[in-house]
Amino acid sequence: MLHKSEYFENLENNPKDPSHWHALFLDKSIPFSADAKAAFLYDSGRKSRQYLLPFVRVIARFFIVLMQLFKAISPNLINAPRTLHRSLYMGMKYLVSPEANFLILRHFYLGSEILKFIKDNVKGSEEIPMNPLKPLSVNNVNDNLFLDHDLNLYNFIINLNGAIAGKGLKVEKVDRPNFAAITIGEIPFETFRDKWSNFLDLSTAIEIFTPVYQFFLTDNDFWRASNSLQLDEVIGIYATTIMDCPEKLVGLNNKHPMIPLPTYGAAFRLTLHGLSTEVLHALLVEAKKKNV
């Protein structure tokens, strides 16, 4: 288990050369798991993010635009989700930093808990089907993890609103919300590989993975996945309506879901998507602690 929070907690401040990451770790204006925040900030300080990311971002976005032209001609020629996830697994295991892998797997785990929390607090929604994704190892990526995550998000919103329209259900304030779905404390992930080759930070890895994701999927699958990144505010509104704290939406950054954005910016929005999930889950954790 990673405990990078100890690194920042024991870091001495130099007033003449303060650390950007240290300042952000100590700031508590936005709810965030201490371990996840420390992992993200420690990972952001890697040399790959400072020196490699600017070049990778330009090259990756060029390939996305180039592939978009190819997909316009042959949108369904390549459809290999299993090969995609095998490629992502190999990259995560052998190239991506342990902090980044920790954050990636947390994202799927927390996302499933947030959807379950919403379902548990909408009366009459018991029949809505769920497909919780709670990976504890990088090996679980091989189970179409990324693609299923996107599908879960869309299907949950469609099924929930179908039940709202058909059964008269309502997402509304709950005086004593059911927090059973929300985990407090550590998630028992398997130990992440940490060798010399695991040097890629989260942002750089996502920039590389995005054109790979596009290549192995149909044009429709990639377009759908890209647009799913703007559904954070939708999920956030459901959760904050239940808890009656809409002002907390300030930490959710991927907004305006009805206005599709260019796919070449999907990697950056994916990073924001991960941060938004962390903020919303941390908000639920804080509320659960107050209600224990």
Q: What is the distance between the alpha carbons of residues 221 and 216, in angstroms, rounded to a whole number?
A: 10
**Predicted local distance difference test score (pLDDT) of residue 249:** 75
The answer to whether position 250 is within a domain reads yes
- How far is the CA of 261 from the CAs of 6, 56, 112, 131, 223, in angstroms? 38, 20, 25, 27, 10
**What is the number of alpha carbons within 13 Å of residue 133 lying toward its C-beta?**
23
Q: How many domains does the chain have?
A: 1
**Predicted local distance difference test score (pLDDT) of residue 3:** 67
**Predicted local distance difference test score (pLDDT) of residue 9:** 86
The answer to whether position 192 is within a domain reads yes
Comparing 142-156, 169-183, 191-205, 237-251, the range with the smallest average pLDDT is 237-251
Q: How confident is the model at residue 6 (pLDDT cuts 50, 70, 90)?
A: confident
**pLDDT tens profile 12-59:** 899 999 999 999 999 998 899 999 999 999 999 999 999 999 999 999
The answer to whether position 28 is within a domain reads no
List, in sequence order, every residue forming a beta bridge with 96; answer none if it has no partner.
200
Task: Give me the domain span that covers residue 209.
Answer: 49-128+146-291
The answer to whether position 267 is within a domain reads yes
Its pTM surpasses 0.85: yes
The answer to whether position 17 is within a domain reads no
Q: How confident is the model at residue 1 (pLDDT cuts 50, 70, 90)?
A: very low
The answer to whether position 23 is within a domain reads no
The answer to whether position 138 is within a domain reads no
